[in-house]
Amino acid sequence: MELNARQKEILEIVKNDGPISAEEIASRLSISKAAIRPHLASLTLSGFLAARPRVGYYYVGKDRNALIADIFREIKVKDIKSVPVVIREESSVYDAIVTLFLEDVGTIYVVDDQAILQGVISRKDLLKVSMGNNDLSKMPVGVVMTRMPNIVTVEPEENVLEMASKIIEYEVDSLPVVRPLKDDALEVIGRVTKTNLTRLIVEIAGWG
């Protein structure tokens, strides 16, 4: 939760002089008791303050882990996503490998001419098919890709914690960022990877 200026003032007062009554806080800030109620309610609900009858409000703070979880909940997939690297289903495995090197990615998304997600092809998929005696320039990626509906995806408004949980649960390196259209079609509008998460951690550490 983002604190407003008034809530920060209240927090300072309670931190320094708590336990303290709502009346006393209101009078210090020269505002009415009614005006202070909503601020106290929201600070109590979000875990910064606690109240005891006849004692008043006192500072609880948030533990460090809860604060970190809050940060990852506030940041959305749309804030950290990258441009997707896509290929058509008819493209050859050879072309997919070239794309992998040229674009410097580990996973390519397979889409149709409307950018609708058809499949995913990763490093290991390409390595596996390259080990057989195949003519890679004749083999379409459609033969080796992981196909819809078995693709784990994420939407732009999902938060970073939800995204990271999917990456861990499904043991994949990247998730296509999609916008659902009608008939279960998913338009590919981005990608998020373990690299995006790593970059975010370094960025957050730099905020301090």
Out of 146, 179, 189, 194, the residue judged to bind ligand ADP by CB under 6 A: 146
Q: Which is nearer to ligand ADP, 19 or 106 (CB)?
A: 106
Out of 9, 24, 173, 187, the residue judged to bind ligand ADP by CB under 6 A: 173
Q: Which is nearer to ligand ADP, 66 or 127 (CB)?
A: 127
Out of 122, 188, 191, 200, the residue judged to bind ligand ADP by CB under 6 A: 122
Quick check: 193 binds ligand ADP (CB under 6 A)?
no
- Counts for the chain of helices (H) and strands (E), in that order: 9, 8
Q: What are the b/e assignments for 28-54, b being 16+ CB within 10 Å?
A: eeeeeeeebeebbebbeeeebbebeee
Q: How far is the CB of 122 from ligand ADP (least distance, A)?
A: 3
Quick check: 164 binds ligand ADP (CB under 6 A)?
no
Q: How far is CA 85 from the centre of its chain?
A: 20
Q: Which is nearer to ligand ADP, 21 or 146 (CB)?
A: 146
Out of 91, 107, 118, 196, the residue judged to bind ligand ADP by CB under 6 A: 107
Q: How far is the CB of 192 from ligand ADP (least distance, A)?
A: 10
Integer-rounded Cα Rg, in Å, for the chain is 25
Out of 31, 116, 172, 197, the residue judged to bind ligand ADP by CB under 6 A: 172
H-type helices in the chain, by residue range?
A: 5-17, 22-29, 33-45, 64-74, 77-80, 93-103, 123-131, 160-170, 194-207
Quick check: 151 binds ligand ADP (CB under 6 A)?
yes
Contacts of 154 (CB under 8 A, 6+ apart): 77, 162, 163, 166, 175, 176, 177, 178, 192
Which residues make up the interface to ligand ADP (CB under 6 A)? Answer: 106-107, 120-125, 146, 150-152, 172-175
